[in-house]
Amino acid sequence: MNEKITAHSSKEEREKVLKEIRQLENRKKILENKQRNEERRVRTRRLIERGAVLEGIFPLAPDLPGVEVKAFLIALSHLPGAAELAAKLPKSGDKP
């Protein structure tokens, strides 16, 4: 009889542990989704801000297709002094 009680409580304990593992895995997925959403939100904000700067400096930019904007920026990057200017910019993650 003690074997049945031990086996039964062992099975219950195993089920309890498996349930807790599933709960922790679900909590992990929820936290990962929140992190991805926050990273996506930050990236979207950064892209919008930089697009606004581009359009503010180059008024024709909103009327150009993306391929032409890219070609324009590449052409600007090849102008004399552009590489030196870019080298002086703070690296990503550096605080001004």
Each residue of 43-66: b (16+ CB within 10 Å) or e? eeeeeeeeeeeeeeeeeebeeeee
Rounded Cα gap, residues 74 and 82, in angstroms: 10
Quote the pTM value: 0.64
CB 70 within 8 A of CB 54: no
Residue 7, pLDDT above cutoff 70: no
Residue 94, pLDDT above cutoff 80: no
Task: Band the pLDDT of 35: cuts 50, 70, 90.
Answer: very high
Residue 82, pLDDT above cutoff 70: yes
The DSSP code for 58 is: -
Cα 84 versus chain centre, distance: 30
Residue 96, pLDDT above cutoff 50: no
Neighbours of 72 (CB within 10 A): 15
